[in-house]
């Protein structure tokens, strides 16, 4: 495609690095690691963009942000126009700019990536969102006249918040029901402060509140009221309840003391602020030698949390090799810098406790990679007779989560998909039950923030059509 | 924010605690629990429900002051508010016409067994209640329970009321009265749950225990409340809290319940006497 070739300027193939807290310092605090671009760097990085006519990057973004559109505003120095551009399609830019797997999405598609490094789209998105936050006046979009229709949303995670945002702008009344005492879902209880400051999540949730969302906390849909009861009051209902059910390995010893699901470990630290115990009441153990089992973002977050809680040694135990690690590369590198020891090609088979029922060591097997499996990754196979013992006084299991069964258990008529999530139509996000939509991790199983938001947009559009009699 | 309607010590160290929470009051059922946070920096702790008034929108629990969070609850006065009162959580106790049911309550469980008794009675059961306490000074709600029961048994360690003894005397007391229950339901401290299950196992009496592991979210998200039941891992907050007492791995359960011992005792020491020296 000829129009993507740069005509005037020479290719600037190196992306501008983003300043980070030094790793010697940051392992001692819970503050954000990446510090964001200063204005001049942001404008330099933005001017690397070729403003392609057929911008491939846009196709890589699940919520369809006009990427060259907002980047151009940064070059011009009109940051207010830039953030407005993003907010046309993305209600949570400060969050996406930080935690989106950009290297798999927008940045993967950027043409500059073919010759050198892609434009740092995520960092620029973050830059604008942070700039706006510093302005102390957040713009409220033009709202459609009230329609009088009422929508209930289950769960204040990224999926639910996105649906709320879109439907409020379209003039519908929205009530969000959240089981916990804070909004944000995994963004609040799972992803740690040092990767996503909670003040940012609070700010973005407050934004939807300012648009007029009613939020009912401590409300567990299924037991406080059922979906069917809510449907008597509301015209439509969206389920964005996430994938909160932690998996265990189903090996002996998993109920020993000192063995945690990553959800428990991270919730104690993030939601309950255990790292500030006893100022906050919820305790978290501070063991010397922690083993985290798994290789995704959740495992990296757990391992890096253990480092910050002061463990002497933190091991990340993963059954495949470094190339197969599902976590974002940037986070793997951060973890390595912070001193996390990677025990790759290693599989725990038994957890062994001391006489008081506390974890003492893990029996593991060495693995080697065989033929590729269904996921296309090479299958790990145990090396015969390679059993060995690894001492550990805490084990954090971070091998995955699946959708919580509470809602299907209490709601007749909701069909499930193969992952145990709610079955939906991909075009509309409608479930098998009339007037009920769903999206995000409750449908996909543990996925990403941006895919949850993408589902939310589809659902909101479909709910709007239904409410206005267009279908 | 949730308004405290009543908080008073009804017997030494046990408090009756009533909160305005209309959404919970509307749908709560016997055997369920709520999660409470006494203040903004507070921990989430589970409390079983002991009564409710659907019209007034209030819910009542009985709690025992044991550590930092319950100490904070114990300082609350009517009119004050607490930031979290979430529920109802857990599955309700199975209520059917089983025939003859024995309800065993001790400690806070004397309170939380009450709505179970009421519902079983309404369902047509013959309901007997067995209360265990150190002394008569720790018994409460006897009149409420008497009204919901066909007969009451009481054992106190010091003999100040009922038989001088404890739960181990329960089978003999029942057989003297000619009662063989079709089902036993136990609410209260871990030892009462475990001891009762041990006693009824050889007798073949189906025994349901209302488990009380450490919890955080109460919605199935964190897995801290896991309990081994019949060799399978269950989450007490969503699969329970009622389980078959004969299938629980009690040794594991006791170890898990104690896992935060040192941390929990620490703030107590720091916040009370030690600070005066
Ligand atoms: C530790 C960790 C790190 C991660 N890192 C990344 C990352 O770097 N990048 C990325 O893109 N993704 C990451 N993810 C995944 C991402 O956070 C999720 O895919 C995303 O949050 C899903 O959004 P959601 O709205 O579907 O659900 P959630 O965020 O799970 O929110 C669901 C909400 O619903 C509430 N809820 C559940 N049941 C009920 C009920 N019955 N009634 C009322 N409310 C209910 C829950 O309390 C919760 O608040 C990470 C996940 C974890 C756990
Ligand atoms: C489903 C359920 C229902 C319960 N109902 C009642 C009730 O009706 N009345 C009542 O007095 N108590 C009840 N409990 C127990 C009550 O939750 C604990 O006593 C309380 O959490 C202790 O908090 P604390 O900070 O005051 O004490 P802590 O100092 O935290 O702990 C004292 C003891 O309680 C244990 N414990 C600590 N945190 C928890 C927790 N979150 N859940 C369970 N145990 C914990 C500790 O291991 C320790 O042995 C129930 C527990 C569960 C799981
Ligand atoms: S939302 Fe995510 S995928 Fe879309 S442009 Fe921003 S960082 Fe890229
Ligand atoms: S970000 Fe990359 S693909 Fe997108 S317009 Fe700029 S140069 Fe082109
Ligand atoms: S309390 Fe967290 S899963 Fe039960």
pLDDT for the residue A119: 95
Q: From A342, A255, A294, A6, select the one nearest B254 (Cα to Cα).
A: A255
Q: State the average pLDDT over residues A149-174.
A: 96
Q: State the average pLDDT over residues A359-372.
A: 93
pLDDT in tens, A146-156: 999 999 999 99
Tell me, yes or no, if B268 comes closer than 8 A to chain A by beta carbon. no
Q: State the average pLDDT over residues B116-132.
A: 95
The answer on pLDDT for A286 being more than 90 is no
Residues of B in contact with A189 (CB under 8 A): 217, 221
Q: State the average pLDDT over residues A388-400.
A: 95
Q: How far is CA B238 from CA B59, B222, B227, B233, B261, in A?
A: 20, 11, 11, 12, 25
The rounded distance, in Å, linking the Cα atoms of B19 and A214 is 23
Q: State the average pLDDT over residues A370-375.
A: 84
Q: State the average pLDDT over residues A65-73.
A: 95
Please state the atom number of ligand 4 nearest to the C-alpha of residue A121.
1
Ligand 3, CB cutoff 6 Å, lining residues:
A 61, 63, 65, 67, 90, 96-97, 100, 102, 105-106, 121-122, 125, 450
Residues of A within an 8 Å Cβ radius of B: 179-181, 189, 216-220, 223-225, 244-246, 248, 250, 254-258, 260-261, 263-264, 267-268, 272-273, 277-283, 285, 356-357, 404-406
pLDDT for the residue A276: 75
Residues of A in contact with B42 (CB under 8 A): 280-281
A271 or A240, higher pLDDT: A240
pLDDT in tens, A15-40: 899 989 988 889 888 889 989 999 99
pLDDT in tens, A416-459: 998 889 999 999 999 999 999 999 999 999 889 999 999 999 99
Residues A166, A168, A171, A173, Cα dihedral to 10°:
130
Strands A394-397 and A346-353: unpaired
Q: Which of B24, B41, B221 sits opposite A263 (nearest CB)?
A: B221
Mean pLDDT estimate for chain B = 90
Q: Which of A258, A356, A404 sits opposite B221 (nearest CB)?
A: A404
Residue B25 structure tokens? 């009051």
Residue A74 structure tokens? 């940064």
Q: Which of B222, B235, B241 to mutate to test the interface with A (most CBs of A within 10 A)?
A: B222
- Looking at the complex, report in whole angstroms how far the Cα of residue B225 sits from the nearest Cα belonging to chain A: 10
Three-state secondary-structure class, residue A426: coil
Q: State the average pLDDT over residues B27-53.
A: 94
Q: Which of A181, A216, A254 sits opposite B84 (nearest CB)?
A: A181
Q: State the average pLDDT over residues B183-211.
A: 94
The answer on pLDDT for A121 being more than 60 is yes
**Of the candidate ranges A22-36, A39-53, B92-106, B189-203, the one whose mean pLDDT is the lowest:** A22-36
* Domain locations in chain A as residue ranges: 23-135, 150-244+402-467, 248-399
Q: From A335, A287, A334, select the one nearest A312 (Cα to Cα).
A: A287
pLDDT for the residue A209: 92
Residues of A in contact with B239 (CB under 8 A): none
**Cα–chain center distance at B123:** 22
Mean pLDDT estimate for chain A = 91
Report whether B272 contacts B73 (CB < 8 A).
Answer: no
User: pLDDT tier at A9 (50, 70, 90 boundaries)?
Assistant: low
CATH 3.40.50.450 fits B100-257, yes or no: no
Ligand with the closest atom to the CA of B50? 2
Percent of residues in chain A assigned helix, strand, coil, to nearest 5:
35, 20, 45
The answer on pLDDT for B275 being more than 60 is no
Do the domains A150-244+402-467 and A248-399 sit in the same CATH topology, yes or no?
A: yes
pLDDT for the residue A373: 82
Three-state secondary-structure class, residue A462: helix
pLDDT for the residue A280: 74
The answer on pLDDT for B235 being more than 90 is yes
Residues of A in contact with B260 (CB under 8 A): 283
Q: Please tell me the residue having the least CA distance from ligand 5 atom 2.
A: B222
The answer on pLDDT for A85 being more than 50 is yes
**Of the candidate ranges A8-12, A196-200, A254-258, B184-188, the one whose mean pLDDT is the lowest:** A8-12
pLDDT for the residue B156: 93
**Reported pTM:** 0.90
Q: How far is CA A211 from CA A143, A164, A167, A171, B14, in A?
A: 8, 9, 10, 10, 45
pLDDT for the residue B269: 35
Q: Please tell me the residue having the least CA distance from ligand 3 atom 8.
A: A106
Report whether A360 contacts A332 (CB < 8 A).
Answer: no
The answer on pLDDT for B277 being more than 80 is no
pLDDT for the residue A139: 75
The rounded distance, in Å, linking the Cα atoms of B196 and B202 is 11
Q: From A129, A89, A13, A61, select the one nearest A451 (Cα to Cα).
A: A61
- Looking at the complex, report in whole angstroms how far the Cα of residue A64 sits from the nearest Cα belonging to chain B: 31
pLDDT for the residue A345: 95
* Domain locations in chain B as residue ranges: 2-89, 100-257
Q: Please tell me the residue having the least CA distance from ligand 2 atom 5.
A: B47
Q: State the average pLDDT over residues B80-108.
A: 95
pLDDT for the residue B263: 46
User: pLDDT tier at B46 (50, 70, 90 boundaries)?
Assistant: very high
Q: How far is the CA of A121 from the centre of ligand 3 (A)?
A: 7
A362: enclosing H helix or E strand: strand A359-372
Residue A267 structure tokens? 């919730």
User: pLDDT tier at A404 (50, 70, 90 boundaries)?
Assistant: confident
pLDDT for the residue A376: 80
pLDDT for the residue A344: 95
Percent of chain A with pLDDT over 70: 97
Q: State the average pLDDT over residues B12-24.
A: 95
ipTM reported for the complex, 2 dp: 0.88
User: pLDDT tier at A1 (50, 70, 90 boundaries)?
Assistant: very low
Q: How far is the CA of A450 from the centre of ligand 2 (A)?
A: 38
pLDDT in tens, B254-270: 888 766 544 444 333 33
Highest mean pLDDT among A107-116, A222-231, A399-408: A222-231
The answer on pLDDT for A240 being more than 80 is yes
Q: Which of A225, A246, A257 sits opposite B259 (nearest CB)?
A: A257
Task: Please state which CATH number belongs to domain A23-135.
Answer: 1.10.1060.10
Write down the CATH superfamily of domain B2-89.
Answer: Translation factors (2.40.30.10)
pLDDT in tens, A38-64: 999 999 999 999 999 899 999 999 888
Task: Please state which CATH number belongs to domain A150-244+402-467.
Answer: 3.50.50.60
Cβ of A189 within 8 Å of Cβ of B221? The answer is yes
pLDDT for the residue B216: 92
Q: What is the assigned CATH class of domain A248-399?
A: alpha beta
pLDDT for the residue A191: 94
User: pLDDT tier at B276 (50, 70, 90 boundaries)?
Assistant: very low
Cβ of B223 within 8 Å of Cβ of A264? The answer is yes
**Of the candidate ranges A111-125, A270-284, B2-16, B162-176, the one whose mean pLDDT is the lowest:** A270-284
């Amino acid at each position: 495609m000829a129009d993507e070739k740069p005509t005037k300027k020479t290719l600037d193939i190196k992306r501008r690095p983003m300043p980070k807290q030094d790793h010697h310092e940051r392992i001692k605090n819970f503050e954000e690691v990446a510090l964001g671009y200063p204005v001049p760097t942001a404008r330099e990085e933005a001017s690397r963009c070729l403003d392609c006519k057929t911008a491939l990057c846009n196709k890589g973004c699940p919520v369809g942000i006009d990427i060259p559109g907002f980047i151009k505003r940064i070059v011009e120095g009109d940051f207010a126009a830039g953030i407005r551009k993003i907010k046309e399609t993305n209600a949570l830019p400060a969050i996406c700019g930080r935690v989106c797997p950009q290297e798999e999405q927008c940045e993967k598609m950027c043409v500059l990536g073919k010759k050198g490094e892609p434009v740092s789209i995520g960092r620029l998105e973050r830059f604008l969102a942070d700039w706006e936050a510093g302005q102390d006046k957040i713009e409220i979009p033009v709202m459609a006249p009230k329609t009088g229709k009422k929508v209930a949303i289950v769960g204040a995670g990224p999926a639910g918040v996105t649906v709320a945002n879109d439907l409020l702008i379209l003039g519908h009344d929205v009530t969000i029901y959240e089981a916990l005492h804070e909004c944000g879902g995994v963004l609040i209880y799972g992803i740690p402060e040092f990767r996503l400051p909670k003040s940012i999540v609070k700010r973005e949730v407050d934004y939807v509140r300012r648009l007029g969302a009613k939020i009912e906390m401590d409300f567990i849909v299924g037991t406080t009221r059922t979906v069917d009861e809510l449907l008597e009051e509301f015209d439509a209902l969206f389920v964005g309840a996430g994938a909160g059910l932690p998996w265990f390995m189903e090996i002996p010893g998993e109920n020993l003391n000192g063995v945690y699901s990553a959800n428990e470990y991270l919730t104690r630290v993030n939601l309950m602020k255990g790292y500030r115990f006893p100022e906050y009441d919820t305790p978290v153990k501070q063991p010397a030698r922690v083993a985290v089992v798994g290789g995704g973002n959740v495992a990296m977050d757990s391992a890096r949390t253990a480092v910050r809680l002061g463990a002497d040694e933190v091991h990340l135990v993963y059954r495949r090799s470094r190339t197969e690690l599902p976590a974002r590369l940037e986070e793997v590198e951060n973890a390595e810098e912070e001193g996390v020891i990677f025990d790759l090609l290693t599989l725990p088979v038994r957890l062994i406790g001391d006489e008081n029922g506390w974890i003492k060591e893990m029996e593991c097997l060495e693995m080697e990679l065989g033929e590729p499996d269904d996921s296309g990754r090479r299958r790990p196979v145990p090396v015969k007779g390679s059993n060995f013992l690894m001492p550990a006084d805490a084990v954090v299991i971070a091998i995955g989560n699946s959708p919580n069964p509470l809602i299907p258990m209490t709601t007749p008529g909701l069909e499930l998909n193969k992952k145990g999530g709610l079955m939906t139509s991909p075009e509309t996000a409608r479930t098998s039950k009339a007037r009920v939509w769903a999206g995000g991790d409750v449908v996909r199983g543990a996925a990403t923030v941006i895919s949850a938001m993408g589902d939310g947009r589809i659902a909101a559009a479909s709910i709007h059509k239904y409410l206005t009699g267009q279908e | 924010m949730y308004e405290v309607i009543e908080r008073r010590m009804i017997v030494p160290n046990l408090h009756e605690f009533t909160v305005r929470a209309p959404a919970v009051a509307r749908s709560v059922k016997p055997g369920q629990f709520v999660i409470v946070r006494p203040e903004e920096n507070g921990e989430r702790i589970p409390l079983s429900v002991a009564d409710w008034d659907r019209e007034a929108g209030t819910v009542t629990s009985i709690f025992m002051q044991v550590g930092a969070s319950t100490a904070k609850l114990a300082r609350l006065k009517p009119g004050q508010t607490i930031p979290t009162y979430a529920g109802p959580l857990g599955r309700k106790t199975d209520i059917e016409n089983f025939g003859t049911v024995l309800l065993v309550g001790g400690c806070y469980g004397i309170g939380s067994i009450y709505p179970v008794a009421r519902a079983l009675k309404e369902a047509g059961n013959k309901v007997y209640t067995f209360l265990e306490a150190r002394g008569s000074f720790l018994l409460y709600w006897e009149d409420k329970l008497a009204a919901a029961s066909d007969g009451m048994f009481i054992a106190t360690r010091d003999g100040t009321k009922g038989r001088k003894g404890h739960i181990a005397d329960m089978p003999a007391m029942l057989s003297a009265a000619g009662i063989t229950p079709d089902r036993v339901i136990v609410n209260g401290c871990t030892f009462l749950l475990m001891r009762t299950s041990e006693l009824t196992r050889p007798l073949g009496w189906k025994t349901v225990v209302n488990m009380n592991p450490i919890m955080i979210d109460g919605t199935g998200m964190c897995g801290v409340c896991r309990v081994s039941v019949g060799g399978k891992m269950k989450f007490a907050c969503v699969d329970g809290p009622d389980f078959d007492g004969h299938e629980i791995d009690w040794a594991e359960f006791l170890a898990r319940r104690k896992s935060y011992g040192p941390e929990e005792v620490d703030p107590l020491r720091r916040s009370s006497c030690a600070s005066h020296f």
